Amino acid sequence: MIQSNTVQYICEQCLQPFEAKPARPNAPHRYCSKPCMSKAYRLRNVGSGNGNFKGEKIGGGKKSCKGCGIEFSAYQPDRKFCSWECYQSSGAAAKNAAKAAGLSSGNCFSGKHGTDSNQPAIVHGLRDLGVSVFITADIGKGFPDLLCAYGGRNVLLEIKNPSTSYGKSGPNPRQRKWAADWQGEKPFIVYSLEDAVKAVFEKHGTTSDL
């Protein structure tokens, strides 16, 4: 029953009736609750409704994250990462901070020129299995490509692509030296998701070449 001092409205979000005091002509009641108002606001700010929207590229604005390889939508044409986590873990955040501080990238990184093409599949596969994966491929100076954690254990993985001559050649001199100086558990060389799973879950893997 509608109270005498209230008016019945229809929520623009959930389409359910609600009661409220009569609204001013220039400020009508549009939503029944704050959750409905917040949801409507989020929906209005999707795509071209967002003030930061700069137009989607061909393909619906889909991009491949430079960090984890996952496909995502972006409003900014120059966006490269799907999340802040990937931006940081890729090493790009540290590089940009060093650049802003006036430091040459050579003082902080060895500057890998690319990521192994099999890395995204390995990263996705491990994360799907509940493994924490931190991408460290851009740290350089021989540091392994991935830092993984599962069940209280940290595991370093050096990814090699068996389809390339560089990958088939095994660890380079910098990687060998870093592994030799490292006092913790040695990095595992992995060529596939299967290798990575064995290294993380079964504590088996190829470390003899490091």
In a domain, 2, yes or no: no
Task: Name residue 9's beta-bridge partners.
Answer: 18
What pLDDT score does 16 carry? 93
Task: Name residue 134's beta-bridge partners.
Answer: 147
Closest to 192 (Cα-Cα) out of 122, 125, 123: 122
Q: Where are any strands of DSSP class E within 28-79?
A: 62-64, 71-73
What pLDDT score does 43 carry? 82
Closest to 210 (Cα-Cα) out of 200, 164, 184, 89: 184
Specify whether 139 is located in the same domain as 152.
Answer: yes
In a domain, 96, yes or no: yes
Specify whether 89 is located in the same domain as 169.
Answer: yes
Specify whether 167 is located in the same domain as 145.
Answer: yes
Question: Among 82, 101, 129, which residue terminates a domain?
Answer: 82
In a domain, 35, yes or no: yes
Which of helix, strand or coil describes residue 96? helix
What pLDDT score does 101 carry? 54
Q: Tens place of pLDDT for every residue, the chain, 210 residues?
A: 445 688 889 999 999 999 988 877 778 889 999 899 988 888 887 666 666 665 554 445 677 888 787 887 766 667 788 887 777 666 666 666 656 655 444 433 344 445 677 888 898 899 999 999 998 887 878 899 999 999 999 999 999 988 888 888 888 899 999 999 999 999 999 999 999 999 999 865 454 445
Specify whether 71 is located in the same domain as 175.
Answer: no
What pLDDT score does 96 carry? 66
Specify whether 121 is located in the same domain as 71.
Answer: no
Which structure tokens are listed for 60?
């619906």
Question: Among 64, 82, 100, which residue terminates a domain?
Answer: 82
Question: Among 66, 82, 98, which residue terminates a domain?
Answer: 82
Specify whether 70 is located in the same domain as 95.
Answer: no
In a domain, 149, yes or no: yes
Cα separation, 61 vs 58, in Å, equals 6
Rounded to two decimals, what is the model's pTM?
Answer: 0.48
36, containing H or E segment: helix 34-44
Rounded-to-10 torsion of CA 77, 82, 85, 89: -80
What pLDDT score does 52 carry? 62
Which residues have C-beta within 8 Å of that of residue 88, sequence separation ≥ 6? 94
What angle do helix axes 193-201 and 119-128 make, rounded to 10 degrees?
40
What pLDDT score does 195 carry? 93
Cβ distance 8 to 18 under 8 Å?
A: yes
In a domain, 207, yes or no: no
Specify whether 32 is located in the same domain as 14.
Answer: yes
In a domain, 208, yes or no: no
Total number of domains in the chain: 3
What pLDDT score does 130 carry? 92
Provide φ and ψ at 16, rounded to 5°. -95, 145
Cβ distance 189 to 160 under 8 Å?
A: yes
Specify whether 72 is located in the same domain as 89.
Answer: no
In a domain, 1, yes or no: no
Specify whether 74 is located in the same domain as 101.
Answer: no
Specify whether 173 is located in the same domain as 74.
Answer: no
Gap between the terminal Cα atoms of the chain: 78
CATH at residue 158: 3.40.1350.10
What pLDDT score does 207 carry? 47
Which residues constitute the domain of residue 12? Answer: 7-44
In a domain, 206, yes or no: no
Specify whether 78 is located in the same domain as 29.
Answer: no
What pLDDT score does 104 carry? 44
What pLDDT score does 111 carry? 42
Specify whether 166 is located in the same domain as 71.
Answer: no
